[in-house]
Structure 1
């Protein structure tokens, strides 16, 4: 039986996204994309920080030498953990084309899969990229809302979704590089659900946030439904494994687009939740530059 989702702060985010965790530093993070804010949480002290950024960012990762990377609307930046200064690692000013960054996940090889999306929701404007050893390669384009990026624990399979198309695809990968070894195949086509962010557990199951569906669903690698985690908000955006044992799940949500009546009905919309689903994730890999 799953425990009750617990908000970890009083913050209510417009568009909560990009939760993540680094086991070596016991540091968790998440973003409010709309307000250009990065949140940090020290797992040992539980101290939280809200850091205003000069640009929209949606995901972070730690490098093999302990630096923090931010995925932003203008490319990838190195954020100095001592003073917060930003330094360009990869310049790709997607904002000039009306785009911003979106979902991302580090492959076991140390490559970083990242994605872009139209700020206005333009159909087919999004794409997924592979960032490995300083080089950016576009993998797939003509997507509307790239999401659900995650990988099997052995790195041999990649998963991703197009939220607007209500489907999740899977593709064979080279475990040593995180690059595709074949063509994407349909894993599951939803009738009503819109898959958002996702993460795999140590058994290779997918835990997928459902935008508008008030839950996270657990799917086997074959796409069959196993269980669900229910939350008291409609727009669930992304899960991440956190904690020394990787057995807690940090879950971001959003209140973007909700009416005053809906916000009154769902007062916890936009909260960041913590749950213990009864399983655990693999250790989060670091980006190798």
Structure 2
């Protein structure tokens, strides 16, 4: 990687997360500030929207229908013009869970995980939402992360952050998962795998919380590249731009000391870097 990253929005997000490229612009959230943000790199326009609770991901709906978003209370529909409408409560509120990361596959199925909001209990789970409803696909995870799918639609990836492990599954055409196995493990002492995204060659980009960047894994789970950023907590990447060759990163200031923030003042910013291999297009949620 020879290109240098650029901070395109010095937002100082507490917990920037969930970037997606949709409508020729970048959408993402700040979970702890309860904000949805939008950045248009062509015009330079930036917009922010208040959410009624912690907002954790966005997944676009077809026909300018807005987004499915994760709030602590469950899944909602969000449109910038009309606000929020509840769709489904996923889990018992007494678990003190919230949704975390998400992705949409080529069939329009929404995959998302939940996690314990206090980051202590293994009460989180992985879910699939389609026209039939919401189904639990994996469980017993404290912090779920990084759901993403290979370009051929046959391999599904999901991360257990505290176990520092990215898992791979066989993904069938009907949306069932099987053959769970270790794909990659992070061995750095202070770095944890956060969100992931898969490029057009099937390589997995995994952001590193506490690792100052992201790692690119080959389909065989080998480290083939790395991006370094001037921010300790990198949360997720997405591909954007007209050719999908701009890699955008969200970062977070959460958990950083005043001394660390003074050393890395761009922490919590949005970064962009040009890459040689394009990403996959952002799919829309299709619920039938």
Which category describes the TM-score, using the shorter chain as reference length?
Answer: over 0.9
Tell me which of 45, 52, 55 is aligned to 1:54. Answer: 52
Tell me which residue corresponds to 1:74: 73
Please give the residue correspondences for 1:1-289 in structure 2 after superposition, counting only pairs within 5 Å: 1-22=1-22, 25-67=23-65, 68-83=67-82, 85-92=83-90, 95-133=93-131, 135-174=133-172, 176-180=173-177, 182-192=178-188, 193-289=191-287
Matches of 1:48 and 1:234, distance apart in 2: 24
CA contact (8 A) 1:74 1:94 kept: no
Please report how far the alpha carbon of residue 98 of structure 1 lies from its aligned counterpart in structure 2 after TM superposition: 1.1
Distance in 1 (CA, whole Å) between partners of 2:33 and 2:78 is 18
3-state SS, counterpart of residue 3 of structure 1: coil
SS at match of 1:184: strand
Runs of 4+ that moved beyond 6 A: none
The alignment's TM-score, normalised by the length of structure 1, stands at 0.94
Distance in 1 of aligned mates of 2:64 and 2:141 = 32
Q: Give unmatched runs, 5+ long, in structure 1.
A: none
Q: Secondary structure at the match of 1:155?
A: coil
Please state whether the residue corresponding to 1:263 is helix, strand or coil. Answer: helix
Counterpart-to-counterpart distance in 2, 1:35 and 1:287? 25
Q: Secondary structure at the match of 1:202?
A: coil
User: What displacement does 1:100 show?
Assistant: 1.2
Tell me by how many angstroms 1:211 deviates: 0.8
Q: Partners of 2:270 and 2:248 in 1: how far apart?
A: 7
TM-score, scaled to structure 2: 0.94
- Is 2:10–2:268's contact at 8 Å kept on the other side of the alignment? no
Question: Once superposed, what is the RMSD of the aligned Cα atoms?
Answer: 1.5
Q: Could you report, residue by residue, the CA deviation over 1:87-140 in whole angstroms, capped at 9, with x for unpaired residues?
A: 122233655421111111111111011111111112312111001125100111
The Cα shift of 1:28 comes to: 1.7
Report if aligned partners of 1:2, 1:276 keep a CA contact under 8 Å in 2. Answer: no
Cα distance, 1:191 vs. partner? 2.2
SS in 2 for 1:264: helix
Structure 1 window deviating more from structure 2 (89-98 vs 8-17): it is 89-98
Q: Distance in 2 between matches of 1:96 and 1:118?
A: 11
